Structure 1
Amino acid sequence: MENSLDNLLAPSLRQSIEVNLGKSTLNKIEQRLMERHGMGIAQAIKDFHKFDSVLREFFGAGADGLETKFLQNIIDLKQQKKGIDNWVTIKDQILAKIFLESFADEDKKAIIGTVLDESLIIADILEHCNVPQTSGYRKINQLIDNGLLISNECAVSTDGKKIKKYETIFNNVKMDIEKNVVVVKIQLKKRSFQESTILQVIPN
């Protein structure tokens, strides 16, 4: 089962890793990940212990400093280590703008509000929100692709098929714009915070 925070951070983290290590080294790491674990970079980042183990093959104890460097411009590491009420500050501007744009869209805002406290199948989300089906499906899929919604359980239909239920990855969001910089703070659901493989691996 994917962790919602890892899923959210993965695209930005992959880009940060490539910027810091270079494409050539990244390709070598990816090749080794395929050999050892049968997965690429994107998948390994969501199961960060596996990425960490391969990184240590290349850099030894230096992997600690690298991992901190990869993450320091994406989330506030000092704050997340304190783990105060599961709040995390997003520093990555691309990621922050995804939140800003999602809440600026009335349909997406309604979708998020509908699954803030409970998980629902897509059909029920659309019914609750009174959003047109075609655009509603598209916007829900955008929220899923961007990591704001995640499926952690399924419903069973009358014919026995499993249907994914979706929920938000957070309980609360605060957004500000300071000196043209978008500052987003998200209060993660407890399980998301505690079970994040990325946060587990970050050096203390």
Structure 2
Amino acid sequence: MIMNPLDKIVAQSVRDVLEKDLGRHTYKKIEKEILDTYGISVLDAISDFAKFDLVLRKFFGNHAAKLESRIFKKVIVIKKKGKDEPSILIKNPNTAKMIFEAYGDPVKKIIMEMLLKQPKSIPEAISQSKLPQASTYRRAKELIQEGLLTMAGHTKAIDGRKVTEYATTLNRAIFDVQDKGLSVSIKLQGKFLKDSFVFNSISER
């Protein structure tokens, strides 16, 4: 299953708020249940919110949806203007810092700018950018892990192999520094927003 990029981007923030909101004792019970049921960490389950949701429903029943919405609202704020794609304010300084550092890395910035225009395979992007192969592969892998690059389909390489194409998740990122630390307002490509568990949990209420 392909994880939604917005859910992946904010997963660490949600995990931090979850532990603080529920308390250490309840959090450890949820952590154990996720491990026993799926064999994965809380962070991995949050990145794949269907698993996270099922475990919370086991503990909190019908109240799970309200709990999720409350936690998500502490992580992001949705701002809509007319028919435009909504912008999403990420309030967690650690997540904002991760995005800021990605755009501040010259190689990562080139990759994201190139794949914003048109999805490409990572080898194709490296070839066209003339960036060093080893370090660029490493940075591209980091962008995928962070949710800033998202699988957008497949194509065939010159040798006939099937390879994955990636697209840049964000259309825009605007950073702001306030008393509580760094925040970022982002706009995602619409195709990546509609399947977000976090986004839909908030916008439906």
Shift of 1:179: 4.8
Structure 2 unmatched runs, 5+: none
**What residue is the counterpart of 1:190 in the other structure?**
190
How many equivalent residue pairs?
202
Q: Secondary structure at the match of 1:53?
A: helix
CA drift of 1:88 comes to: 0.9
Contact 1:86–1:190 at 8 Å: present in 2 too? no
User: Is contact 2:12-2:95 (8 Å) kept?
Assistant: no
- For 1:195 and 1:43, locate their aligned partners in 2 and report how far apart those are by CA, in whole Å: 17
Counterpart in the other structure of 2:73: 72
Q: Which residue of 1 aligns with 2:49?
A: 48
Which one is further off, 36-45 or 86-95? 36-45
Q: 1:3 — aligned with what?
A: 4
Q: In 1, Cα distance between the equivalents of 2:43 and 2:116?
A: 27
Supply the distance in 2 between the matched residues of 1:11 and 1:162 (Cα, whole angstroms): 32
Secondary structure at 1:85 match in 2? coil
How far apart are residue 16 of structure 1 and its match? 2.1
| Paired residue type of 1:25 | T
Preserved CA contact (<8 Å) 1:46 1:197 = no
Alignment partners' CA distance in 2, 1:150 and 1:17: 25
Please show how residues 150-169 of structure 1 align to structure 2 within 5 Å: 150-169=150-169
Moved more, 89-98 or 60-69: 60-69
1:85 counterpart residue number: 85
Instruction: Report how far residue 145 of structure 1 moved.
Output: 1.8
Distance, in Å, in 2 between the alignment partners of 1:154 and 1:139 is 20
After TM superposition, give the deviation of residue 101 of structure 1 in Å.
Answer: 1.3
Distance in structure 2 (CA, Å) of the matches to 1:3 and 1:38 = 20
| Structure 1 stretch displaced more, 169-178 or 87-96 | 169-178
Residues 106, 36 of structure 1: alpha-carbon distance in 2 compared, 3 angstrom cutoff = closer
Does the C-alpha gap of structure 1 residues 27 and 140 become closer, same or farther in structure 2, counting only changes over 3 Å? same
TM-score under structure 1 normalisation?
0.83
Q: Which runs of 5+ in 1 are unaligned?
A: none
Equivalent positions of 1:1-204 (< 5 A) are 1-33=2-34, 40-77=41-78, 79=79, 84-179=84-179, 181-202=181-202, 204=205
Say if 1:130 and 1:176 are closer, same or farther in 2 by CA, change over 3 A. farther
Question: d(CA) in 1 for partners of 2:51 and 2:75?
Answer: 20
CA distance in 2, matches of 1:87, 1:72: 14
Any conservation in 2 of the 1:46–1:198 contact (CA below 8 Å)? no
Structure 1: distance between partners of 2:41 and 2:60: 19
Residue 72 of structure 2 contacts residue 198 of structure 2 at CA under 8 Å; is this kept in 1? no
CA-CA distance at 1:160 after TM superposition: 4.3
SS in 2 for 1:116: helix
Residues of 2 paired with 1:31 and 1:183: CA distance? 32
**Per-residue CA shift, 1:66-112, capped at 9, x if unaligned?**
223322332115x37x9851311111111111121111222111111
- The 10-residue stretch of structure 1 (89-98 or 180-189) with the greater mean CA deviation from structure 2: 180-189
Structure 1 window deviating more from structure 2 (3-12 vs 88-97): it is 3-12
What percent of counterpart residues are identical?
A: 32
